[in-house]
């Protein structure tokens, strides 16, 4: 959405399409009578007859029936106003976005009044509309050579509202920042692994740093060897692609304190190593860097909105390949923390990458840690494909995180991490830890392994193996990468900054 304008009167709208919400009993909405007069005196009859639908997210498209300057109207059902929430608004506008993408409407006007309730202001509508339409219009262009289809983008968005103009513009800016960052994360996850190598991922982070004035540090193989990052280096041993440890720092205060560390798993392709994945399980492993994409997306929002909270992002980037030099089961490796690890499964590589990454984040001053990873198939077995699994060592920090999750509508479910679980992770005849205690409780053991490297630092682990990719179109986007956790991570940082200022 390239430009925004605000108009106070429907009669002055100039657009390809006007988006109108249709709640149950629209005649109770202020201004609907005037709209009906301008569009068609029969409109309420059409609503009652079901030709224009009030069911949630049901869309009806009609041509303009008058001399108005908008060419078409997109009616979107909202259901009962008492049931309408910001999350449902976001979903409704994402459905609008999908229709705009199909119909190629480039100039869009939204009449905000029908979308408001006692709890939802015009500013809330503007935010949800911008974010929802931005997410709904996402499409990964891919690499086909036989398509002459023009790339689609919304050239202009217009809000029809008498609400405070500055607040509407601010809401638009925030919604646009969130949608754009999620879509960029989706692009990264959708990219093929021959094009998105660890080096290319680091180059993307460098572009982000230049754009938002982040401090950036990129460690290559030589620097990792000097520091003793034996865990990520072990994963990388079978590859011809050099690993990268990508570090972005956003400094919001004079002192580097109260720092939130966002740590992402950036395995750009995972064969499983010598614990080789089956053929069917290998397809889609280009998305094993979904945690890294989530962290980079969150950093883009942070760069746009500049919350008053210090943040460090650390991404361990490598692929996990097979060669004569690749690491293997029964190897013992030494991590950056100094802890030794017995390798029982080379396909349990993400936790090794995260072990060194969270250690580096701690050494760099992180006072809170959140790691994000497509870590285990076990989280899908436990929770399905629509829920992110979580572990924590700190109740208060997890509650803060969950408040952000509830605000964004990204569903997270916490699993227990018990002392018995920790004992199994620490069970090894030859090392401090083992990287794969068994298949039962797999998600807990994967995340719990990372927890062995965080110490007493308040920590949340997020396993997005099920939620980072969608096998079919969903409420907020198409099949493919979802950009999950971008919005929740950024919202958490904003909420923590606001809490600090109180």
- Which DSSP state fits 474? B
Q: What is the pLDDT of residue 27?
A: 87
pLDDT number for residue 2: 80
Query: Does residue 66 have a pLDDT over 80?
Result: no
**Percent of the chain, pLDDT > 90?**
89
The pLDDT tens digits for 269-278 are: 999 999 999 9
Calpha distance 483→476 (Å, rounded): 10
Cα gap 253→231, rounded to integer Å: 33
Predicted local distance difference test score (pLDDT) of residue 32: 83
Question: Among candidates 371, 379, 377, which has minimal Cα distance to 459?
Answer: 371
Confidence of residue 75 (pLDDT cuts 50, 70, 90): very high
Report residue 426's pLDDT band, with 50, 70 and 90 as the boundaries: very high
Report pLDDT for 148: 61
Mean pLDDT for the stretch of residues 165-180: 97
Would you call 38 exposed, middle or buried from its count of C-beta atoms within 10 A (0-12, 13-18, 19+)?
middle
Q: Is 72 annotated as catalytic?
A: no
Structure tokens at 74: 């997109």
Q: CATH fold of 3-160, please? A: 3.40.220
HEC profile of 309-373: CCEEEEEEEEEECCCCCCCCCCCEEECCCCCEEECCCCCCCHHHHHHHHHHHHHHCCEEEEEEEE
Q: pLDDT tens-digit profile of 21-33?
A: 999 999 888 888 7
Q: How confident is the model at residue 96 (pLDDT cuts 50, 70, 90)?
A: very high
**Banded model confidence at residue 64, pLDDT cuts 50, 70, 90:** confident
**Domain regions of the chain by residue span:** 3-160, 183-501
Predicted pLDDT at 149:
67
Q: Kindly indicate the confidence band of residue 34, based on its pLDDT and cuts at 50, 70 and 90.
A: confident
Count other Cβ atoms within 10 Å, centred on residue 173: 16
Q: What is the pLDDT of residue 13?
A: 87
pLDDT band at 150 (very low <50, low <70, confident <90, very high): low
Supply the pLDDT for residue 151. 74
Predicted local distance difference test score (pLDDT) of residue 152: 82
Cα first-last separation, the chain: 34
Q: Give the architecture (CATH level 2) of 183-501.
A: 3-Layer(aba) Sandwich (3.40)
Mean pLDDT lowest for which of 13-22, 23-32, 175-184, 387-396? 23-32
- Averaged pLDDT for residues 361-381: 98
Alpha-carbon span 4 to 303, nearest angstrom: 21
Query: Tokens in use for 441?
Result: 């409780």
Model confidence at 67: pLDDT above 80 = no
376-388 pLDDT per residue, tens: 999 999 999 999 9
Is 277 labeled as catalytic in the residue annotation?
yes
The residue-averaged pLDDT of 99-114 equals 94
pLDDT at 501: 83
Choose, from 237, 351, 387, 487, the residue flagged as catalytic: 351
Q: Quick one: what percent of the chain has pLDDT higher than 70?
A: 99
Q: Does residue 339 surpass a pLDDT of 80?
A: yes
Catalytic residue among 71, 72, 277, 414: 277
pLDDT score at 141: 87
């Amino acid at each position: 959405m390239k430009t925004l304008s605000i108009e106070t009167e429907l009669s002055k709208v100039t657009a390809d399409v006007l988006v109108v919400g249709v709640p149950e009993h629209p005649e109770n909405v202020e201004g609907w009578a005037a709209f009906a007069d301008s569009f068609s005196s029969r409109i309420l009859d059409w609503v009652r007859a079901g030709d224009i639908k009030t069911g949630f997210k049901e869309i009806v498209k009609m041509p303009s029936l008058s001399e108005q300057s908008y060419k078409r109207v997109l009616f979107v059902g909202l259901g009962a106003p008492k049931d309408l929430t910001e999350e449902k608004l976001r979903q409704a506008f994402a459905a609008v976005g999908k229709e705009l993408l199909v119909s190629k409407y480039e100039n869009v006007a939204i009449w905000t009044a029908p979308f408001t309730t006692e709890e939802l202001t015009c500013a809330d509508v503007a935010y949800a509309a911008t974010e929802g339409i931005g997410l709904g219009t996402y499409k990964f262009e891919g690499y086909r050579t036989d398509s002459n289809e023009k790339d689609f983008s919304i050239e202009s968005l217009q809000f029809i509202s008498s609400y405070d103009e500055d607040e509407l513009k601010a809401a638009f800016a925030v919604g646009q920042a969130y949608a754009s960052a999620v879509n960029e994360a989706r692009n990264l996850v959708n990219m093929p692994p021959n094009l998105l190598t660890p080096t290319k991922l680091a180059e993307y982070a460098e572009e982000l740093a230049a754009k938002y004035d982040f401090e950036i540090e990129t460690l290559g193989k030589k620097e990792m060897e000097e520091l003793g990052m034996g865990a990520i280096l072990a994963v990388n041993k079978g590859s011809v692609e050099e690993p990268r440890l990508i570090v972005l720092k956003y400094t919001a205060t004079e002192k580097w304190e109260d720092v939130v560390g966002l740590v992402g798993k950036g395995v750009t392709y995972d064969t499983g190593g010598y614990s080789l994945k089956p053929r069917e399980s290998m397809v889609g492993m280009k998305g094993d860097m979904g945690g890294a994409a989530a962290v980079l997306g969150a950093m883009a929002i942070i760069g746009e909105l500049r919350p008053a909270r210090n943040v460090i992002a650390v991404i361990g980037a490598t692929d996990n390949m097979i060669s004569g030099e690749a690491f293997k089961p029964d190897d013992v490796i030494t991590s950056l923390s100094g802890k030794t690890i017995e390798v029982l499964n080379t396909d349990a590589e993400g936790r090794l990458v995260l072990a060194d990454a969270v250690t580096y984040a701690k050494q760099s001053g992180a006072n809170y840690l959140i790691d994000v990873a497509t870590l285990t198939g076990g989280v899908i077995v436990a929770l399905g494909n629509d829920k992110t699994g979580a572990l924590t060592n700190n109740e208060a920090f997890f509650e803060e995180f969950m408040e952000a999750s509830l605000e964004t509508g990204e569903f997270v479910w916490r699993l227990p991490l018990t002392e018995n679980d920790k004992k199994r992770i620490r069970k090894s005849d030859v090392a401090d830890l083992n990287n794969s205690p068994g298949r039962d409780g797999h998600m807990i053991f994967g995340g719990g392994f990372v927890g062995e490297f965080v110490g007493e630092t308040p920590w949340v682990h997020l396993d997005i193996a099920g939620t980072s990719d969608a096998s079919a179109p969903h409420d907020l986007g198409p099949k493919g990468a979802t950009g999950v956790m971008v919005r929740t991570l950024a919202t958490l940082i904003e909420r923590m900054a606001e809490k600090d200022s109180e």
